[in-house]
Amino acid sequence: MTREECTIVEHYLGQKLKQLRKSRGWSQKALAKKLNKGTSTISDYETEAHAIPLDVLISIAAIFGVSLNELTNLKEPDAISLKDLTPFQVETLVALRNEFLSPTNQSSNLSAQQMQILHDIIKLFSQSS
């Protein structure tokens, strides 16, 4: 995501948070209490003075009963087609999928973020096969 796209998402998030809060009839103070934050922090989120950390976004989504995609207005990526791949490439992807989709896989060479990226990519390939 580019810096410009991040700015657009942050701007959208502030507006969306305010809209969700008001739709429930909650004050900033009431939402702050639910999130264990200060009222000024909620104000900063709504006015985009501060970006909303991921852990707080997850809490906001849970409180309002919405998905992170709905909250951030992001769409699920399209599935990736396997039709232009060679049989060897498909076989390799299947092997990777089997390796990395295993919930017990604990690769010490990759960070959790790298594992999640690989997991998401492989999942996309799985959906299109």
Q: What is the CATH number of the domain that holds 8?
A: 1.10.260.40
Whether residues 44 and 9 share a domain: the answer is: yes
Residue range(s) defining the domain that contains residue 63:
3-72
122: phi then psi, degrees, rounded to nearest 5? -65, -35
pTM as predicted: 0.52
Sign of the dihedral defined by the CA atoms of residues 19, 57, 27, 43, in that order: negative
Mind listing the pLDDT tens digit for each residue in 86-121? Answer: 787 777 777 766 666 665 555 445 566 666 666 777
26: phi then psi, degrees, rounded to nearest 5? -95, 145
Whether residues 58 and 102 share a domain: the answer is: no
Q: Is pLDDT of 129 > 70?
A: no
Mind listing the pLDDT tens digit for each residue in 2-35? Answer: 444 444 445 578 888 999 999 999 999 999 999 9
Judge whether 11 lies within some domain: yes
Whether residues 61 and 10 share a domain: the answer is: yes
Judge whether 109 lies within some domain: yes
In sequence order, the 6+-apart residues with CB closer than 8 A to the CB of 101 are 119, 122, 123, 126
Reduce the DSSP state of residue 106 to 3 states and report it.
coil
Whether residues 8 and 59 share a domain: the answer is: yes
